[in-house]
Amino acid sequence: MKIILALLAILFLHGCTFRPPVTSGTVTSAFGLRSNPFNEGAIQFHNGTDIGLPIGTPVSSVARGRVTRTNYCVASWCKVDTGRRK
pLDDT at position 43 is 93
Q: Are 80 and 61 in contact (CB under 8 A)?
A: yes
Per-residue pLDDT tens over the stretch 42-62: 999 988 788 888 878 888 877
Q: Are 22 and 62 in contact (CB under 8 A)?
A: no
pLDDT at position 22 is 80
pLDDT at position 11 is 62
- 34: closest CA among 25, 45, 23? 45
Q: Where are the domains of the chain?
A: 2-81
- Cβ-based neighbours of 41, under 8 Å, separated by 6 or more: 35
Per-residue pLDDT tens over the stretch 3-24: 666 666 666 666 666 677 788 8
Q: Are 46 and 21 in contact (CB under 8 A)?
A: no
